[in-house]
């Protein structure tokens, strides 16, 4: 038993993945897992483990079972065998075999008859899981060998330094020049973050031109797009921190950051990432200028934060007033005075902004998008979309396709 538990911990540390060992009566021997799993995922796994056990009892002792549940969560299971046969199993997972996208999550929501408000929670949960893709076959083979064979305690040794002196292949004058360039780059970065912190979009855009990033593409050899994405992710984080220093509420910053993280990962060209970089600076500066906590009364601050986080739910003036604890008439008057928009108009604009973003991603139909951003019917979504943008959602989508083809 001690050896089995030791092996489970080894598997967990080696692959950074959840591990559970169960006996032949399905009682847990050890479970190593994060505590952020939704209850419905736990219940789904319990049902699936019963099916896996039936397969393993009949299988060859050197086999492993691979299974994916309705939530697109995958598991590997290896039998524990003793002299009298099947004695239990070691289950590894959950893990993912495909990259997390809003389309993938949307399909899970539909397949499991969940409410639309599960989107954000599932997105957070899925992004905490390892992505194994096709490597699960090799890992399954390793698991069989780890579980079946007796554990051998390994010894670690380290090589001794031979005493040789090593020299960098950089001449002093090259190093000096490199040092100057690095200082210039970091000075430009400080200026850029300073302007974002102050909501100064014009100067932030100018500083961005001086903040060169091409020299860092070597960091992922043979895959410059991946390297560029990594750099853009870093930019997203730095801009978020700068906007936070400028007074924007964390909840709102999180929403912006998550939106751009999805957009960065889905990009397929360098030009797309350049466009995203500009959009990020634009939006973070806009957030500081228009949504910094210093600029609004307490009632409007609370209303803005609530709407920005819950615009895709069934909310209106009354529900917002009730949930933030202010009188409806007072909220309506203060909001209109400070925002030059009614609460309902602001909610609708937030929904349409999100709809445009989802259309840009190109993974959902306009019908799905309308429902996902909070509209009760597709026809109402189309009506509001045209009122705000001057075109239908379908026309907007066609224009985006033409723009992408023109830049291809």
- Give the tens place of pLDDT for each residue, 295-319: 678 888 888 878 877 888 899 999 9
The verdict on 8 and 135 lying in the same domain is yes
Length of the chain: 408
Domain boundary among the residues 277, 295, 313 is at 295
pLDDT for the residue numbered 173: 45
Comparing 71-80, 153-162, 188-197, 350-359, which segment has the lowest mean pLDDT? 153-162
Structural domain range at position 211 = 171-295
Task: Give the confidence band of 375 by pLDDT, cuts at 50, 70, 90.
Answer: very high
pLDDT for the residue numbered 205: 85
308 within domain boundaries: no
Task: Give the confidence band of 294 by pLDDT, cuts at 50, 70, 90.
Answer: low
Task: Give the confidence band of 321 by pLDDT, cuts at 50, 70, 90.
Answer: very high
Query: b vs e for 301-314, b when ≥16 Cβ sit within 10 Å of the residue's Cβ?
Result: bbbbbbbbebbbee
Measured CA to CA, the distance from residue 240 to residue 205 in angstroms comes to 16
pLDDT for the residue numbered 166: 43
- Give the tens place of pLDDT for each residue, 3-40: 888 888 888 887 788 888 888 888 888 888 766 778 88
**Average of per-residue pLDDT across 387-395:** 93
Residue 400, pLDDT > 90, answer: no
Report residue 28: phi and psi, to 5°.
Answer: -75, 130
The verdict on 133 and 177 lying in the same domain is no
228 within domain boundaries: yes
The verdict on 33 and 122 lying in the same domain is yes
Residue 227, pLDDT > 90, answer: no
Helix (H) or strand (E) holding 81: strand 74-82
Comparing 90-94, 141-145, 269-273, which segment has the lowest mean pLDDT? 269-273
333 within domain boundaries: no
The verdict on 66 and 185 lying in the same domain is no
The verdict on 181 and 113 lying in the same domain is no
Residue 97, pLDDT > 50, answer: yes
| CA nearest neighbour of 144 among 64, 206, 203 | 64
Comparing 20-29, 86-95, 159-168, 381-390, which segment has the lowest mean pLDDT? 159-168
- Domain total of the chain: 2
Write out the two tokens for 25.
């009566």
pLDDT for the residue numbered 333: 95
Domain boundary among the residues 295, 324, 353 is at 295
| CA nearest neighbour of 363 among 227, 256, 254, 268 | 268
Q: Which of 278-292, 345-359, 380-394 has the highest mean pLDDT?
A: 380-394
187 within domain boundaries: yes
CATH code for the domain of 28 = 3.30.450
**Average of per-residue pLDDT across 85-107:** 85
Task: Give the confidence band of 171 by pLDDT, cuts at 50, 70, 90.
Answer: very low
The verdict on 6 and 143 lying in the same domain is yes
**Average of per-residue pLDDT across 168-195:** 62
pLDDT for the residue numbered 327: 93
The verdict on 187 and 225 lying in the same domain is yes
The verdict on 50 and 101 lying in the same domain is yes
Mean pLDDT score of the chain, rounded to an integer? 81
The answer to whether the bond into 288 is cis (omega within 30° of 0) is no
Write out the two tokens for 360.
């840009």
Share of the chain above pLDDT 90, in %: 14
Residue 281, pLDDT > 60, answer: yes
The verdict on 117 and 9 lying in the same domain is yes
The verdict on 20 and 133 lying in the same domain is yes
CA-angle at 271, arms to 270 and 277, nearest 5°: 90
pLDDT for the residue numbered 305: 77
């Amino acid at each position: 038993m001690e050896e089995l538990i030791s092996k489970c911990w080894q598997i967990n540390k080696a692959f950074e993945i959840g591990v559970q060992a169960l006996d032949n009566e399905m009682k847990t021997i050890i479970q190593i897992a994060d505590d952020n799993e939704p209850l419905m995922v736990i219940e789904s796994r319990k049902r699936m483990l019963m099916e896996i056990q039936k397969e393993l009892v009949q299988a060859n002792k050197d086999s492993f079972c691979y299974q994916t549940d309705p939530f697109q969560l995958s598991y590997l299971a290896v039998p524990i065998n003793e002299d009298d046969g099947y004695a239990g199993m070691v289950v590894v997972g959950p893990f993912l075999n495909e990259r997390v996208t809003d389309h993938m999550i949307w399909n899970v929501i539909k397949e499991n008859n969940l409410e639309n408000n599960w989107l954000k929670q599932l997105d957070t949960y899925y992004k905490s899981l390892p992505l194994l893709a096709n490597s699960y076959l090799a890992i399954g083979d390793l698991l069989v060998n780890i579980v079946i064979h007796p554990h051998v305690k390994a010894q670690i040794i380290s090589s001794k330094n031979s005493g040789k002196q090593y020299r960098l292949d950089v001449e002093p004058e090259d190093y000096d020049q490199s040092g100057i360039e690095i200082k210039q780059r970091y000075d430009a970065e400080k200026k850029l973050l300073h302007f974002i912190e102050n909501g100064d979009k014009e100067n932030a855009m100018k500083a961005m031109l001086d903040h060169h990033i091409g020299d860092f593409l070597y960091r992922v050899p043979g895959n410059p797009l991946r390297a560029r994405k990594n750099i853009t992710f870093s930019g997203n984080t730095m801009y978020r921190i700068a906007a936070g220093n400028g007074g924007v509420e964390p909840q709102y910053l999180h929403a912006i950051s998550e939106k751009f993280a999805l957009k960065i990962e889905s990009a397929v060209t360098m030009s797309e990432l350049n466009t995203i970089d500009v959009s990020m600076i634009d939006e973070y500066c806009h957030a500081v200028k228009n949504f910094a906590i210093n600029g609004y009364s307490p009632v409007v601050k609370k209303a803005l934060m609530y709407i920005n986080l819950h615009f895709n739910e069934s909310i209106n003036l009354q529900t917002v007033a009730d949930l933030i604890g202010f009188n409806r008439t007072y909220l309506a008057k203060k909001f209109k005075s400070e925002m030059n928009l009614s609460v309902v108009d602001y909610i609708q604009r937030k929904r349409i902004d999100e709809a445009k973003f989802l259309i840009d991603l190109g993974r959902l139909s306009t019908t799905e998008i309308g429902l996902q951003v909070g509209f009760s019917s597709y026809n109402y979504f189309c009506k509001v979309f045209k009122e705000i943008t001057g075109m239908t959602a379908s026309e907007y989508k066609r224009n985006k396709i033409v723009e992408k083809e023109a830049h291809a």
